[in-house]
Structure 1
Amino acid sequence: MKGMVLAGGGDSRRHPTTTNARSGPDISVVVPAFNEVGSVEELHRELCGVLADLGEVEILFVDDGSYDGTGECLDGIAEGDPQVRVLHFEGNRGKSAAYMAAFAAAKGRAILTLDADLQDDPNEIPRMLDELKSCDLIVGWKQGRLMNEPHKALPSKVFNRLSQILFGIYLHDGNCGFRAMKRDVAKHLKLHGDFYRFIPQLSHIAGFKVRELPVNHRKRRHGLSKYGPIRFWTGALDLLTVRFVSSFRDRPLHFFGTMAFLPLFSGGVLECYVLVMKLMGDTFREHSAAMLAGVMLILVGFQIFMTGLIGEMIAARAETTPARWPERVPD
């Protein structure tokens, strides 16, 4: 049974629909799924076996616009298990949107995330929850990846080293999707694009205590990997983007003002030079190149500075504009 769609269908593309409401669990397990029909039933069985002795739990599956029957399969699971809820997107929105929707809907004091492809081992969950007592976020460190996914091992090492340089935190596997976090961390996160890959780094910058834990990593049994070689290049760009946004989100003029200083100063020096030469008897024509270069530099610097001012206006407006997904996880 597909989730309810509001009349007109417009809102269904911005907000997921849900099945099976539940309140007050100790643990929320969040599982984004895109075309994983061959894995979700087995994953559900494994989760139920592991979570049975861990108190009240809920399992939140996010069907991210699957077209292979994953959504229907998840709805069938939810009908037979009251601790399962399913959130549906009409189209593929990506993991950031899936996480934000699930974090907003999650009611647990501890929130776990793992992928639906069966490579993350649910048997590691009790260890992760135990480690979570002494920190705010636990991120998995996949063991055996060199054997299971040798083509990903080297790019991952480079990615993690760059992350250490840019964010001041070194994790062996900072991009691992197997995580456990306290609810306050989920409340704080504002994810879009590919920012879901940097949850540990963003949490570290925000002052949360982040640790890693070696976890078992299994081979993919069903379906195909969603990642290709281009991911390494886009990951490097995303690292720089996240570093910039996290540093200057609330003060863009600091960045653009600094960038504008050099062309403004250089242009001003050139124009002063031309003016001094004019006062000493030269003509403007004799120094037209310097005068034109000075004008161009001043214009470039002014445009960069104005970009910073516009950024400040956008940042100020963003503080009063409702988020795309709720900023707080509902009680």
Structure 2
Amino acid sequence: MSNEDEQPALKSFTLVLPVWNEREVIEPVVQEILSVPELACIRLLLVDDGSTDGSAELLDGLETKDGRCAALHLPHGGKDRALWAAFGRVETDWLGIMDSDGQYDPRDLVELFRQADTNIAAVWGVRARRHDNRWRKIISRAGRLAKRLILGSCTVQDTGCGIWVAQTRFVRDLNALCPEPAGQVHCHLPELISTRGGRIAEQAIRHRSRLGGQAKYGALNRMGPGLRSLLQARSMLRAASRG
């Protein structure tokens, strides 16, 4: 833990929420975030990844009602492209990511941010007790093994965790490094940050069952994009190490 002068202020923090067909849950998730006293001053960037269930209109309504919220609408291109677009628009020194399905507790953002200081590039969440089915856990373990084989290591324990914070400068230029991401390259950002000389800390976080709706990525539709993403991440890391 750094001293108070070295810790960034939450007012210089933007939280990015990628949204794809989360009409049932997005409003309660945003309300829960803004009800946390320590998060009252942050900015929310709500990134609509081409939703077709009415989520886009809800995001526009949230933007109209609360000046802390901004909606960004994109054609459907997957989570990678949604995040890449958001990172290029963040103006604050720090940003955070939280999935919009209600499985993460926004109070954990405060704990992640408390670890952040000028000597740390990112703080990654680690799900202490995962509320996923057994099959998804098996697929996650297989993914970690594939990652070690292709990238050589896993920088963090929980590479697929959907809540983390980072210094914006480490991820702002991802459109240039990887303009056509396969869909899961974001899972390998800890390795990119580390390759660029950034120090990464980890913090145990809570994990909950979904508030509603359905999971967007099953085991089968993750395998192909997962392998392509690993190969893209390897190329991206090599380019970053040369640069």
Q: In 2, are the aligned partners of 1:28 and 1:60 still within 8 Å (CA)? A: yes
The Cα offsets for residues 158-179 of structure 1, whole Å up to 9 and x where unpaired, read as 3223334424334221122211
Kindly indicate whether residue 210 of structure 2 is the aligned counterpart of residue 225 of structure 1: no
SS of match in other structure, 2:35: helix
Q: In 2, are the aligned partners of 1:78 and 1:84 still within 8 Å (CA)? A: yes
The Cα offsets for residues 214-250 of structure 1, whole Å up to 9 and x where unpaired, read as 1111111211111122213532342233213432689
Equivalent in the alignment of 2:231: 240
SS of match in other structure, 1:148: coil
SS of match in other structure, 1:106: coil
SS of match in other structure, 2:205: strand
Equivalent in the alignment of 1:163: 147
Deviation at residue 57 of structure 1 after TM alignment = 1.4
Equivalence map 1:1-331=2 (5 Å): 25-50=11-36, 52-54=37-39, 56-89=41-74, 91-133=75-117, 134-145=119-130, 147-165=131-149, 166-190=151-175, 191=178, 192-194=181-183, 195-230=185-220, 231-247=222-238
CA distance in 2, matches of 1:233, 1:39: 28
AA aligned opposite 2:24: G
Please give the root-mean-square deviation of Cα atoms over the aligned residues, in Å. Answer: 2.4
Change (3 A) 1:238 1:247: same
SS of match in other structure, 1:212: strand
TM-score normalised according to structure 2 size:
0.84
The Cα offsets for residues 167-204 of structure 1, whole Å up to 9 and x where unpaired, read as 43342211222110012222243442322221112212
Deviation at residue 65 of structure 1 after TM alignment = 0.7
AA aligned opposite 1:138: V
SS of match in other structure, 1:221: coil
TM-score normalised according to structure 1 size:
0.63
Deviation at residue 96 of structure 1 after TM alignment = 1.7
Deviation at residue 104 of structure 1 after TM alignment = 1.7
CA distance in 2, matches of 1:106, 1:53: 20
Deviation at residue 94 of structure 1 after TM alignment = 1.3
Deviation at residue 119 of structure 1 after TM alignment = 0.7
AA aligned opposite 2:88: A
CA distance in 1, matches of 2:120, 2:241: 27
Aligned length: 226
Where does structure 1 lack aligned partners over 5 or more consecutive residues?
1-23, 252-318, 320-331
Where does structure 2 lack aligned partners over 5 or more consecutive residues?
1-9
Deviation at residue 206 of structure 1 after TM alignment = 2.0
Q: In 2, are the aligned partners of 1:167 and 1:201 still within 8 Å (CA)? A: no
CA distance in 2, matches of 1:152, 1:217: 14
Q: In 2, are the aligned partners of 1:160 and 1:171 still within 8 Å (CA)? A: no
User: Highest CA radius of gyration, 1 or 2?
Assistant: 1
The Cα offsets for residues 265-302 of structure 1, whole Å up to 9 and x where unpaired, read as xxxxxxxxxxxxxxxxxxxxxxxxxxxxxxxxxxxxxx
CA distance in 1, matches of 2:39, 2:110: 8
Deviation at residue 55 of structure 1 after TM alignment = 6.6
The Cα offsets for residues 90-114 of structure 1, whole Å up to 9 and x where unpaired, read as x212112211221122122210001
